[in-house]
Amino acid sequence: MIIGVPKEIKNNENRIALTPAGAAELVKHGHEVYVQAGGGMGSGFQDEAYIGAGAKMLPTIEDVYGIAEMIIKVKEPIEEEYKLIKEGQILYTYFHFASCEPLTHAMIANKSICLAYETVELPDRSLPLLVPMSEVAGRMSIQEGAKYLEKTYGGYGVLLGGVAGVLPAKVLIIGGGIVGTEAAKMAAGLGADVTIMDVSLKRLRYLDDIMPANVKTMMSNEFNIREMVKSHDVIIGAVLIPGAKAPHLVTRDMLSTMKPGTVLVDVAVDQGGCFETTKATTHADPTYVIDHVLHYCVANMPGAVPRTSTIALTNATLPYAIEIAGKGWKQACIDNEPLRKGLNVVDGKVVYKGVAEAFDLPYESVETVL
């Protein structure tokens, strides 16, 4: 198959959908890989590395879309790209259709085959192509929390791990899924006094088993949260209720009970946030203060570490890309149920229920296109 990897043109997006190592794998499987010149620069991959892996470089985005049977991307196509997409072209990328009606209509109109990373789903209902970004954001949340605890950034002025004779900082993590677990591991590694809260007792039992001694678990409920926020230095929001807005677990009135300079990091900001006072921020201006409490609410945290994020993402997407390229999208989706769940819009039909419902569009079951 002919595979195209364009440079991402969405504002501030420095990731690329394929590493040189990934390109080498696809070439080894007999495919032709075309990468837009300079596309890997934001992630620290030079054109020469792709050429060394057997890929060919093309100068413009038009060339890449023009030649490819399958486009592999990171972010959803933006308006400038709509006109470049051809009928029957496979687009394998994050789409998040339900949050963008014009994108949905454009992909219906151009009759492309849209395989969305975010809806590829394993039998245990986990989302393997979202996990890597949660891992990155979870680990990063502690790095950011530790930084903003410093006095010069407006924080309380404590070192996460303390030193001999001085107690470590206290970190509260609300939500013990992927983000929460990775955050806990990082905070524990730095020597902080960590508590993870979740509503799932099963999950808390598991975390209690695997975490080091400086990580404790606690049931998440309003009473406990109200009590815990008074004494903690960093509070990480990491809850997810699939398909719903995040609940406001830390309310505005709780802020006045916190220490001045407490740092709140709301990783769940992309689902509306789990703190009542959360407002989405950007890497350019990541924090704001309410009631002497510092808020960090960047909606695309992995964007700050594009090299790590690119490699983590492609580790997860590549096996599916190899299957699609080897068998064609139809056979790959017939054979691979998790991948089939990634089909959202195919040949002008909406085959993912959530997308059809979001915009009141006709829905066709995925079997009708296979």
**Cα separation, 313 vs 307, whole angstroms:** 10
What mask of x and - would describe binding to ligand NAD in positions 191 to 220, judged by CB under 6 A? ------xxxx--x----------------x
User: Is position 301 an interface residue for ligand NAD (rule: CB under 6 A)?
Assistant: yes
Q: Is 299 annotated as a binding residue?
A: yes
Active site residue 292: no
- Residue 297 is classified by DSSP as -
Least Cβ distance, residue 33 to ligand NAD (angstroms): 28
**Among candidates 263, 173, 153, which has minimal Cα distance to 215?**
173
Q: Is 110 annotated as a binding residue?
A: no
Q: Is 301 annotated as a binding residue?
A: yes
Nearer to ligand NAD, 77 or 302 (CB): 302
User: Is position 235 an interface residue for ligand NAD (rule: CB under 6 A)?
Assistant: no
Q: Is 267 annotated as a binding residue?
A: yes
Least Cβ distance, residue 337 to ligand NAD (angstroms): 20
Task: For the sheet with 170-174, list strands across it.
Answer: 215-219, 193-198, 170-174, 234-237, 263-266, 293-296, 287-290
**Cα separation, 156 vs 179, whole angstroms:** 24
Task: Evaluate whether 13 touches 74 at the Cβ level (below 8 Å).
Answer: yes
Beta bridge partners of 194: 171, 215
Task: Evaluate whether 14 touches 43 at the Cβ level (below 8 Å).
Answer: yes
The Cα-based distances of 331 to 29, 323, 367 in angstroms read 17, 9, 12
Nearer to ligand NAD, 268 or 332 (CB): 268
Nearer to ligand NAD, 221 or 257 (CB): 221
Catalytic choice (193, 233, 266, 270): 270
Active site residue 270: yes
User: Is position 247 an interface residue for ligand NAD (rule: CB under 6 A)?
Assistant: yes
Binders of ligand NAD among 118-137, rule CB under 6 A? 133-134, 137
Count of Cβ atoms closer than 10 Å to residue 91 Cβ? 24
* Site size toward ligand NAD, by CB under 6 A: 32
Least Cβ distance, residue 266 to ligand NAD (angstroms): 8
14, 43, 277, 300: which one contacts ligand NAD (CB under 6 A)? 300
Task: Evaluate whether 14 touches 42 at the Cβ level (below 8 Å).
Answer: yes
Task: Evaluate whether 141 touches 238 at the Cβ level (below 8 Å).
Answer: yes
Nearer to ligand NAD, 200 or 231 (CB): 200
**Cα separation, 333 vs 352, whole angstroms:** 14
Catalytic choice (96, 105, 248, 292): 96
Residues in binding site: 15, 75, 134, 198, 203, 220, 239-240, 267-270, 298-301, 323
Residues designated catalytic: 96, 270
